């Protein structure tokens, strides 16, 4: 599985973007996310991937200063009250973990997470123990992840043993009590 293929899977996840409106107030741009209680200064999202809703279509680009979005073809200025989507980032520790696991384990993990109605962007916590074992010949331990899709919470334990064979075991436990275990063993 190529890096591009993995990237496409991550980019197609539900809830990959925060959606809301922008307002210009007191000489600054503010982002009001739908279902959020407070606004965020749009400067916080500089150099993020964004989508601007204009003329019944989404325009994708990178947010620059002063409410400018640069696309491969043009520069577009945000207007007061515009609807925008801002790309969420995957938590750094989770992103590193996803890079470390095999393609097969990656696919099984993401597929199971999605089938349980969670997105990788629903992550609210990740402890990646693999980071601490970087220079060890035998890598063994457990990573802990928590996901919140706004309805339920899912805790995931990733048990791993990387030596002569790679063993990945994911235990998903939902707040409803439902549990799923998947295991991947590669030579």
**pLDDT per residue over 71-100, tens digit each?**
999 999 999 999 999 999 899 999 999 999
With contact defined as beta carbons under 8 Å apart, do 21 and 84 qualify? Answer: yes
The answer on pLDDT for 187 being more than 80 is: no
The hierarchical CATH code for the domain 17-87 is 2.40.10
Residue 158: CB atoms within 10 Å: 22
With contact defined as beta carbons under 8 Å apart, do 166 and 154 qualify? Answer: no
Tokens of 172: 């998903």
The answer on pLDDT for 143 being more than 70 is: yes
Predicted local confidence at residue 26, as pLDDT? 84
| Alpha carbons 152 and 162: distance in angstroms, whole number | 32
- Label residue 21 by pLDDT band (50, 70, 90): very high
Percent of the chain with pLDDT strictly greater than 70: 98
- Domain boundaries defined on the chain: 17-87, 92-186
Predicted local confidence at residue 128, as pLDDT? 95
Q: 4-13, 58-67, 167-176: lowest mean pLDDT where?
A: 4-13
Tokens of 1: 């599985």
| Alpha carbons 21 and 84: distance in angstroms, whole number | 6
| Alpha carbons 62 and 48: distance in angstroms, whole number | 6
Fold of 92-186: 3.30.1300
Predicted local confidence at residue 56, as pLDDT? 93
Average pLDDT over all residues of the chain: 92
- Label residue 46 by pLDDT band (50, 70, 90): very high
The answer on pLDDT for 27 being more than 90 is: no
| Alpha carbons 187 and 178: distance in angstroms, whole number | 31
pTM of the model: 0.83
| Alpha carbons 114 and 147: distance in angstroms, whole number | 11
Of 156, 175, 152, 151, residue with least CA distance to 113: 156
The answer on pLDDT for 1 being more than 70 is: no
Residue 177: CB atoms within 10 Å: 6
The answer on pLDDT for 101 being more than 70 is: yes
């Amino acid at each position: 599985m190529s890096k591009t293929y993995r990237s496409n899977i991550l980019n197609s996840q539900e809830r990959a973007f925060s959606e809301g409106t922008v307002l210009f107030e007191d000489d600054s741009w503010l982002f009001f996310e739908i279902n959020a209680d407070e606004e965020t200064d749009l400067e916080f999202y500089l150099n993020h991937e964004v989508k601007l809703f204009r003329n019944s279509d989404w325009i994708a680009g990178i947010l620059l200063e002063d409410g400018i979005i640069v696309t491969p073809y043009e520069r577009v200025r945000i207007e007061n009250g515009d609807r925008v989507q801002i790309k969420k980032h995957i938590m750094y520790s989770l992103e590193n973990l996803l890079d470390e696991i095999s393609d097969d384990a990656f696919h099984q993990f993401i597929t199971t997470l999605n089938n349980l109605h969670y997105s990788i962007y629903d992550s609210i916590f990740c402890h990646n123990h693999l980071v601490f074992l970087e220079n060890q010949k035998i890598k063994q331990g457990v990573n802990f992840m928590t996901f919140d899709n706004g309805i339920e919470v899912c805790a995931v334990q990733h048990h791993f043993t990387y030596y002569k064979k790679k063993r990945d075991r994911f235990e998903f436990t939902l707040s409803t009590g439902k549990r799923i275990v998947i295991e991947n063993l590669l030579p």
